[in-house]
Structure formats: C-alpha cells, structure tokens
Amino acid sequence: MNTNLTDEELLQNYRADGDNQWLGYLLLRYTALLLGVALKYLKDKNQAQDAVQQVFEKVLTHFPQQEIHNFKGWLYVLMRNHCLQQLRSKVYNADEATLAQISASETDKEELLWREHTLQQMEDAIDMLNEEQRKTIVLFYLKKYSYEQIIAKTGYTFMQVKSFIQNGKRNLKTILSKPLGKSRL
C-alpha cells in the first residue's frame, strides 16, 4: 500500500473498502501533532501518550459517516476536545489542611450571595438562547457530555453540535455583558 497518498486519497480508500489500515496511515502521519496537542493541555507525557492512544481508538471505532474535508484540522479538534474533557472530569480532593487554609471571605455571606446571583444570571442567560444552543450548552458544559454523546442524544451532526456550542458561548458572553433583557437569541 502506498503511504505517499494525500489525506483525501487515504480517506477515499478507507470509505471505499473500510480497511482500517488507511486510517492507520493517516493517524501515523499526525501522531506528533496529536502528542503535541495533548502535552499542551495535559502537561504530562504519560497522560498525553495515553490520550493519543485513546483518540486513535476513537477514530478507528467511531469514525464519522459525514465527509471530512480537512482531516488534520478535524483530528486536532478531536484531540483538543478529548484533552479538555479529561481536564473537566478530574476530581480534585482536598485534605483537611487544605480546607483549613480556605479564607473566611470565601465562606462569607456576601460572597455566597454574590455567587448565587452570578449563577442565577448564568441560568437566566442560558434560558435566553435558542433551543439548539441551550440544549448543547447544557449537555456539554453542565452535564459533561462529549460531542459523540450529544450527537447520539440529539441527532445533530458533529458540525451542528460544534456550531451550536460555539455560537451559544458567544451569545452567552453577549447576554452576560449587558443587563438581561427579555428577547431570545
């Protein structure tokens, strides 16, 4: 098999015969890129190597049906999202000494009221988004769903999910930067 083929040719060959070897050539081509992205986010060589393997497995077992026009960019986004999902899912356990160092201001009544007000503003702003943006923002950020889980739950395409989340974030920022109004985006 010829590994001098372009990304598009390798993808066409994979779609034509379903042979994972074509995807393997593509993944090998971008291993260094994936490792670099994982190191950038995870800051640990072993975790980064594990993340690369997990993304390889994800590509080989859950390759999307829709046409991919920029495999390198798609793979980069997949790795970045995988790393961000890992970082979001980390559980931070504090021992008693750490808990004792928490300043009194964080448990102060005013601080708690301010945080509650901020959370209420965010909730109100999310409610002002259109249905698709609201649904994807809630699933991605609040329920910690992956893109694949959101696609499975909503039936949206990968590009729709990506777009709804990006536009939803931008609209939330706009809504939160001015007093809350009554219009929906």
From first to last of the 185 residues of the chain, give the pLDDT tens digit: 556 888 888 888 888 888 888 888 888 999 999 999 999 988 989 999 999 999 999 888 888 878 888 888 899 999 999 998 888 876 555 555 555 555 554 556 666 666 676 777 888 888 899 999 999 998 998 888 999 999 999 999 999 999 999 999 999 888 888 764 444 45
Alpha helices in 90-130, H assignment, sequence order: 96-100, 104-107, 109-127
Please tell me whether residues 70 and 113 are part of one structural domain. no
Please tell me whether residues 85 and 109 are part of one structural domain. no
Please tell me whether residues 70 and 126 are part of one structural domain. no
Say how far apart CA 21 and CA 25 lie, in whole Å.
6
CATH assignment of the domain containing 27 = 1.10.1740.10
Per-residue confidence (pLDDT) for residue 15, from 0 to 100: 87
In a domain, 183, yes or no: no
Per-residue confidence (pLDDT) for residue 102, from 0 to 100: 56
Please tell me whether residues 165 and 134 are part of one structural domain. yes
Residue that terminates a domain, selected from 89, 124, 143: 89
In a domain, 185, yes or no: no
Name the residue range of residue 69's domain.
7-89
